Amino acid sequence: MRATVLLLLFGGALLYGCEKDPQITQPIQFSHRAHTEKGLSCDLCHESIEKAASAGLPTIETCMTCHQAAMSDSPEEAKVRQYGEQEQEIPWRRLFELPANVYFSHRRHVAFGGVACAECHGNMGESDAPSVRPAVALSMGTCMGCHAQRNASGDCDACHR
pLDDT digits (tens, 9 = 90+) for 119-131: 999 899 999 998 8
Domain boundaries, the chain: 23-57+92-159
User: What sign results for the dihedral spanned by CA atoms 33, 132, 149, 47?
Assistant: positive
Burial class (CB in 10 A: 0-12, 13-18, 19+), 99: exposed
Confidence of residue 136 (pLDDT cuts 50, 70, 90): confident
Give residue-wise pLDDT tens across range 78-94: 999 999 999 999 999 98
What count of residues does the chain have?
161
